[in-house]
Amino acid sequence: MQDTGNIPDASAVARREMVDRQIRRRGVSSPRVLEAMASVPRHEFVPAEFQRDAYADKPLPIGEGQTISQPYMVAAMAEALELTGTERVLEIGTGSGYQAAVLSLLAREVITVESHTALALSAQERLTDLGYTNVHVHNGDGSAGFPDAAPYDAILVSAAAPEIPHVLTGQLRERGRLVIPVGSRQNQELVQARKENGELKSRVLFDCRFVPLLGRYGWGRPGGESL
Ligand code: SAH
């Protein structure tokens, strides 16, 4: 996508405001996370008709019935992964690729899995065009994780699961972090879990609302009915 000359400056100002008003004010304090949120051009990740709202305090449609999460949610989830820059991270539910781009600035490598082929292809193209070279998009059912590149230092599930898919525990390194919305199809709690002595120790962060994780360890087959 070709920007006209003044859009980058205007968008940088909008991002700073987004960080101050929506994210810092609600309690996200990690300087690295705030900097990443101020850097990634969210307007490049939303469809043209929603670009005016790219920095607004809400999720937006990205096609195929899916959404790009609210900026605050992206920041809070990233902070909960406690990344220092050396990690390999797995994201499940690439969507637009926005969250993956934010994570790519906070970790060494991001592997992200998306079950919608059209979304996976456009996210990979967008991330490459924007220069996020340490993100790798895979098309498939991520509810069982991505064993080929395991273990991971951190795993983020960007869609709502009925429970923590326990297969993910095996793909997480000892002391690794898992962040996942868990609950019903309508309402969930954002859970942060840490692997200690081979087992997950989890705590609830806050209530949230995500589109459902489909597939084998989610709510049924991608594109199919719930179990
Ligand atoms: N993180 C995304 C938003 C995720 S929305 C962003 O920044 O834009 C949740 C995504 O999870 C949707 O794109 C949906 O297609 C995907 N999804 C749902 N079930 C999945 C599964 N089993 N495996 C991989 N992706 C899945």
Over residues 90-143, the pLDDT tens digits come to 999 999 999 999 999 999 999 999 999 999 999 999 999 999 999 999 999 999
Ligand 1, atom nearest to 113 Cα: 24
Phi (first) and psi of residue 207, to 5 degrees: -75, 150
- Fold type of domain 58-208: Rossmann fold (3.40.50)
Q: Which residues of 111-138 are buried (b: 16+ CB within 10 A; e: fewer)?
A: bbbbbbeebbebbbebbeebebebbbbb
Distance 9 CA to ligand 1 centre (A): 30
pLDDT band at 221 (very low <50, low <70, confident <90, very high): low
Q: How far is CA 87 from its chain centroid? A: 15
Is 122 touching ligand 1 by the criterion CB < 6 Å? Answer: no
| Per-residue pLDDT tens over the stretch 156-181 | 999 999 999 999 999 999 999 999 99
| pLDDT at 3 (0 to 100) | 53
Domain boundaries, the chain: 58-208
For the chain, helix (H) and strand (E) counts, in that order, are 5, 9
Could you read off the pLDDT of 50-86 as tens digits, one per residue?
999 999 999 999 999 999 999 999 999 999 999 999 9
Q: Which of 69, 115, 122, 143 is catalytic?
A: 69
Tell whether the model's pLDDT for residue 21 goes beyond 70. yes
How far apart are the C-alpha atoms of 8 and 15, rounded to whole Å? 10
Q: Which of 68, 70, 80 is nearest to 29 (CA)?
A: 80
CA-nearest residue for atom 13, ligand 1, is 95
17 is written with which tokens?
């405001």
Band (pLDDT 50/70/90 cuts) for residue 9 is: confident
pTM, to two decimals: 0.94
Pocket test for ligand 1, best of 40, 60, 94 (most atoms within 8 A of CB): 94
69 is catalytic: yes
